[in-house]
Amino acid sequence: MTTSSRGPGDSNSDFSPSARRSDVPVPPSGTTPDPDAVAGLHPDLARGKGIRGTRTGALWTALILGVLILLLLLVFILQNLDSITLELFGWDFSLPLGVALLFAAIAGAAIVGIAGGLRILQLRHAANRQRTLGTGR
């Protein structure tokens, strides 16, 4: 039984320079290579993170969405110009149907906004009270 030890000087294909991966850059000593990194790209871009959404981007998106909704409302109002009579607390109003529905939607949004604002104030007051009790002032 013979045992042979092979080293880099032997003609073994495992140690030949062509068998080594020379296309992978060697990281500086003390660092580990990033397995997700693609050559030449920033690590965040290589992982597909890219640029996150910003407040300005969200503002532009909301602005464009708002303009589209306003255009749809304008088309709705222009297609519903039939006059109707509303009776409210003894008063009689004669308005186009589209305008009356728009006023009803605005009133509903205002009611929801007021209720939401009051809830936010209630929660803020409770949080401030909790913070004051927690600090022992």
pLDDT digits (tens, 9 = 90+) for 51-84: 677 888 889 999 999 999 989 988 988 898 899 8
Inside any domain, residue 136: no
Per the structure, the complete domain to which residue 94 belongs is given by 61-130
Inside any domain, residue 20: no
Inside any domain, residue 11: no
Residues in the chain predicted with pLDDT less than 70, given as ranges, are 1-40, 44-46, 48-51, 136-137
Q: What is the pTM of this model?
A: 0.49
d(CA 40, CA 106): 54
- The pLDDT value recorded for residue 53 is 77
Which distant-in-sequence residues (6+ apart) come within 8 Å of 46 by Cβ?
A: 34, 36, 37, 38
Inside any domain, residue 54: no
26's tokens: 């060697």
> How many domains in the chain?
1
Inside any domain, residue 90: yes
Inside any domain, residue 99: yes
- H-state helical runs in the chain: 43-46, 55-79, 97-135
